Structure 1
Amino acid sequence: MGAEARIQQVMLQDKVWYRVRLGPYHKMDDVNHMRADLAKQGIDANVVRRD
């Protein structure tokens, strides 16, 4: 996909989960394009803004 990705391991309710973080993106259009590409592959994505 050409995106910079980072993987974060977290424990939630005694289970290991992995968060995959993409970005940073400077334009919301780029974010929406990536979310659409992920959705086509059945991957739900949430946007987290960094202030």
Structure 2
Amino acid sequence: PAPVTVLKSGVIDGMGYTLYTDGSIDAAFEHGTLRFDSIEDLRRHLEQSNG
């Protein structure tokens, strides 16, 4: 398998992120950086956090 590398990184709505070639994503929050298996997992986390 190919090594996992950074595909894209930046800031969306004040949240820093790093997207990797395997589809996983790191998202920077006030309490630290969390890794998610997919953008869908990140969206689910954000929806649950916002009520």
Larger Rg: 1
TM-score > 0.5, shorter chain as reference: no
- Kindly indicate which of the two structures has a greater share of residues assigned to strand: 2
TM-score by length of 1: 0.37
